[in-house]
Amino acid sequence: MTVDCVVEDIRWLNIEIVAQRGADMTLLHLGLDPEQFEISVLACDDARISSLNSDFRGKPSPTNVLSWPSDERASEVDGDMPDAPKLPMDSELGDIAIAFETCAREAAEAEKLIEDHTMHLMVHGTLHLLGFDHERDKDAALMEGLETQILGKLGISDPYRER
Residue 81 in this model has a pLDDT that exceeds 60: yes
Of residues 26 and 162, more confidently modeled: 26
Average pLDDT score over the chain: 96
Please compute the mean of the pLDDT values over residues 67-72 and round it to a whole number: 96
Whole-number pLDDT of residue 88: 85
3-state secondary structure 58-113: CCCCCCCEEEEECCCCCCCCCCCCCCCCCCCCCCEEEEEEEEHHHHHHHHHHCCCC
Please compute the mean of the pLDDT values over residues 110-132 and round it to a whole number: 97
117 carries a ligand binding annotation: no
**Residue 2 DSSP one-character state:** E
Residue 43 in this model has a pLDDT that exceeds 80: yes
Torsion of CA 118, 102, 159, 135, to 10 degrees: -110
Per residue in 88-110, pLDDT (tens digit) is 888 999 999 999 999 999 999 99
User: Any idea where the domains of the chain sit in the sequence?
Assistant: 2-153
Q: How confident is the model at residue 162 (pLDDT cuts 50, 70, 90)?
A: low
120 carries a ligand binding annotation: no
The dotted CATH code for 2-153 is 3.40.390.30
Please compute the mean of the pLDDT values over residues 62-91 and round it to a whole number: 94
Q: Which secondary structure element, helix H or strand E, spans residue 27, and what is its range?
A: helix 15-29
- Give the CA count within 13 Å in the CB-facing half-sphere of 105: 10
> String of b and e for 125-142 (b: at least 16 CB within 10 Å)?
bbbbbbbbbeeeeebeeb
CA dihedral (50, 51, 53, 58) positive or negative: positive
CB 68 within 8 A of CB 39: no
Whole-number pLDDT of residue 118: 98
